Amino acid sequence: MNPAKIQKAVIYCRVSGAKQVREGDGLGSQEGRCREFAGHRNYVVVEVFRDDVSGSLTDRPAMKAMLAYLKKQRGTPHVVIVDDISRLARGMKAHMELRAAISLVGGILESPSVEFGEDADSELQEYILATVAQHQRRKNAEQTKNRMRARAMNGYWVTKAPIGYRFERIAGHGKLLVRHEPLASIIADALEGFASGRLQSMTEVKRFLESQPAYPRNSNNEVHIGRVEEMFDRSVYAGHITHEGWGLHLVPGKHEALISLATWQAIQERRYGKPKVPARVDQSADFPLRGFVCCATCSEPLTACWSKGRSARYPYYLCDTRGCPEARKSIRRDKIEGEFETLLNALQPTEGLFNLAFEMFRDQWDAKLMNARTQGASLESEIKLVEKKVDQLLDRIVDATSDSVVRAYEKRIKDLEMQKAVMRDRIANCGKPLKSFSETYRTAFDFLASPCKLWHSPHIEDRRAVLKLVFAEKLPYARGEGYRTAQISMPFKMIGGMKMAENEVVPLAGIEPALLAELDFESSASTNSATGAPCGRAGL
């Protein structure tokens, strides 16, 4: 085949990724150089094919399109022009496969940078250049990986920003993760909810995320359970960077944490601890009390259903326990839920009692804050003990001959390193709460002040939370009579106890005889009038 008779040519250009297409002009400069070469050789460029994939791959869209085009034009041989041998491929195997594929469809490979030929010397030169291109690719990958690992060691996230964060250029840091609202607050709420037990399972976390319009969903308009697991795995949300492939574990990050490391550790303990009961699939906003209110006769949870009438459907609760005298006897939904709201309203404390509880919590907050500021020294001594244990385990690993023993030691060392990281995180935050007192307890006190507000939420998770937070046990309900005595949770029980103490002051006559009490009171009054000191009981 005589190249001088060939008039038509195609150009193949390639860069390594879409970012180079957006931020550079690599494809344009390659095409310009190839067109100049075609002009010198009197070739007519009929097509240009552009790829933005790695040179180590052979599965490329534009390359496939070019080979299909050449196959259709096999009767009219075309020259395939590439700017450089590295633009064809950056791997020896990929180079050989593509070289053979181009020849198979009648293409003749040419380049302004290298002379392709069929003789032994030309093949040797081509193979050497292809090997050099492969070496450069691998060397660049190693250098990039080393630089990324070094930056991660310094506390910077180096891959795609996780949901809830975004990259922002910060002076002195370069590209740094910053909070991306409202996603950051949604994720923090989900993580803290699971750590505290408010969200009992991954399924409940999934439902919570799906109830948030701002949280991204998949093509089926749902949050996949794998996304929840990935969120739980990432220590980046606790302000630390972990990359097992690079040998990095809980490196303190420079970015702002969404949760504390102790909270993240609690999440791992809940995930891999005792299994939790799966969330009920029949829970819906139609019947929020289903499964929580029980039959007063048999103590089994009530179920619920819609009953079809002549022209409409009607909601009912009922006991479905075989053998129970109340079995299959319906209770109207508005009746049982209306009486429940009355019960909730009865738990609302008075304004004075609420203010007293608020001040008591503030005093406790201030006391804890003062105590936390003095814990740094004791935590430092605990860290030294942990480091000593780690050194001892490392010595034992050196002497161990069994793989199972070595793995056990390594697991123990990893657990100790986690303890040390948690303690260092506590030292760094001693006396520095993540949020102020009002921000931390605002939601809790809003709930204590009026639990009915949360009950009227449109989200089933909020309404189920009311049941768990207010009541210590299931509510017994007797058809025709109403709710039996409810076992309320400790916060509301304390408020009730305070209210009782306020309203039922024990009279003096109940402690000692009335006459002795009068004499004692008169004696105290005369003594204190002389000294000016307040009376014993009057001063209380």
Whether 131 is covered by a domain: the verdict is: yes
Q: 108-122, 291-305, 331-345: which has the minimum mean pLDDT?
A: 108-122
Q: Are residues 108 and 53 in the same domain?
A: yes
Average pLDDT over residues 191-201: 85
Give me the pLDDT at residue 522, please: 41
SS3 content of the chain, % helix, strand, coil (to 5): 55, 15, 35
Q: What is the CATH number of the domain that holds 208?
A: 3.90.1750.20
Domain edge (last residue) among 84, 112, 144? 144
Predicted confidence (pLDDT) per residue in 453-503, tens digit: 778 877 777 788 788 878 888 889 998 888 888 888 777 776 654 444 444
Average pLDDT score over residue span 170-198: 89
Is residue 393 one of the residues assigned to a domain?
Answer: no
Which range is least confidently modeled, 325-339, 348-362, 403-417, 519-533?
519-533
Could you give the count of Cα atoms lying within 13 Å of 215 in the half-sphere of its Cβ?
22
Same domain for 96 and 227, yes or no, is no
Same domain, yes or no, for 497 and 522? no
Domain stops at, among 224, 240, 272 = 272
- Is residue 413 within 8 Å of 394, Cβ to Cβ? yes
What CA–CA distances, in Å, run from 374 to 222, 262, 365, 367, 369? 47, 19, 15, 11, 9
* pLDDT, mean of residues 119-143: 81
Whether residue 92 sits in one domain with residue 193: no
**Is residue 413 a part of any domain in this protein?**
no
Same domain, 531 and 475: no
pLDDT (0 to 100) of residue 358? 72
Number of domains in the chain: 4
User: Are both 231 and 332 inside the same structural domain?
Assistant: no
Same domain, 43 and 138: yes
Question: Percent of the chain at pLDDT above 70?
Answer: 80
Q: Which stretch, 12-21, 103-112, 457-466, 508-517, has highest mean pLDDT?
A: 103-112
Q: Is residue 238 part of a domain?
A: yes
- Are 453 and 446 contacting, i.e. CB atoms less than 8 angstroms apart? yes
Mean pLDDT of 89-114: 85
Parent domain of 519: 514-540
Tell me whether residue 209 is in a domain: yes
Q: Write down the pLDDT at residue 276.
A: 52
| Lowest-pLDDT choice from 111-120, 182-191, 491-500 | 491-500
User: Of 26, 31, 33, 40, which is closest to residue 11 (Cα–Cα)?
Assistant: 31
Name the 3-class secondary structure at 190: helix
**DSSP letters for 372-432:** HTT-HHHHHHHHHHHHHHHHHHHHHHHH---HHHHHHHHHHHHHHHHHHHHHHHHHHTTT-
What is the average pLDDT value for the chain, to the nearest integer? 78
| Structure confidence at residue 512 (pLDDT) | 43
Angle (deg, nearest 10), helices 183-196 and 261-272: 50
* Residues 311-319: contacts with CB under 8 Å, at least 24 apart: 315/286, 315/287, 317/287, 317/289, 317/290, 317/293, 319/295
Indicate which CATH number applies to the domain containing 47.
3.40.50.1390
Position 355 in a domain = no
Give the model confidence (pLDDT) of 43-53 as tens digits: 999 999 988 88
Q: Which of 16-20, 373-377, 440-444, 503-507 has the lowest mean pLDDT?
A: 503-507
Same domain, 342 and 477: yes
pLDDT tens-digit series, residues 379-416: 777 777 877 887 887 777 777 777 787 788 777 877 78
* Residue 179 pLDDT grade (very low, low, confident, very high; cuts 50, 70, 90): very high
- Residue 299 and residue 263 share a domain: no
Question: Is residue 114 located within the same domain as residue 194?
Answer: no
Residue 430 lies in a domain: no
Q: How many CB atoms lie within 10 A of CB 456?
A: 11
Same domain (yes/no): 241, 307: no
Residue 507 lies in a domain: no
Measure the N-to-C terminal CA separation of the chain; round to a whole number of Å: 114
SS3 for 169? strand
More confident of the two residues 354 and 510: 354
**Do 466 and 339 reside in the same domain of the chain?**
yes
Give the torsion through C-alpha atoms of 319, 324, 330, 332, to 10 deg. -60
H-helix or E-strand containing 272? helix 261-272
User: Which of 535, 537, 539, 536 shows the shortest CA–CA distance to 506?
Assistant: 537
